Amino acid sequence: MRGDGAEGRVGGYGGATVLFDLDGVLVDSGASIVGGLTAWAEERGLDVDEVLRYHSGRTDLGLARLVAPHLDPETEAHRIQAHEVARAEDVTAMPHARELLAALDGRGRAWGIVTSGGDLIAHARLEASRLPVPDVLVTADQVAEGKPDPEPYLLGAERMGVDPGCCVAVEDSPAGVSAGRAAGMPVVAVASTHTVGELAEATVVVADLREAARLLV
């Protein structure tokens, strides 16, 4: 859909280590997230619209700090996760996700996941969607600062054993795009949950994972 030079051309990331975001990229967890956050907001007497407006790309801890500063953020992050895990059956694989991961595996290409969700919810969503759990799975429980801070992607590169500049991040949210770019990585943004304009900071924006595969494989 859009690229900013040589990096955006077909095949431009054929040798890169791929770090995928999870929600909105590999799995469609929209119903689970909305249902879980709505239940949490109503439980705590919060404005549901405000909670839903600010959740994208944030950790549960970061969201709780932002929209419920009067409550203990760690307690609330656990409550949010519990509500979403209870709705994990609503999660499915994104179109072309299985094919893309199989293509990377078939070529011996290294890939991992860097998500704003916690350990429990990440594993629940991968299990529900029947996608493989990679050797490197960076979650919100493993970092001090979540996206848009670069820490999650820097940790992902470190655990993959490569320099950040040798990775490409695949994202769907502005916060995730910012995190990947701040980590020194090119970012392929999939316009699944946000508009092309909202993802303008990305190196290249694609419509779906089939189009992303033309860049990555």
- Per residue in 172-215, pLDDT (tens digit) is 999 999 999 999 999 999 999 999 999 999 999 999 999 999 99
- Residue 145: count other Cβ atoms within 10 Å of its Cβ: 14
pTM, two decimal places: 0.86
What φ, ψ does residue 191 adopt, rounded to 5°? -80, 60
- Which secondary structure element, helix H or strand E, spans residue 113, and what is its range? strand 111-114
- Which secondary structure element, helix H or strand E, spans residue 20, and what is its range? strand 17-20
pLDDT of residue 59: 85
Higher pLDDT, 179 or 90: 179
Tokens 């949950």 — which residue?
193
pLDDT at 93 over 70: yes
* Residues carrying an active site annotation: 21, 23
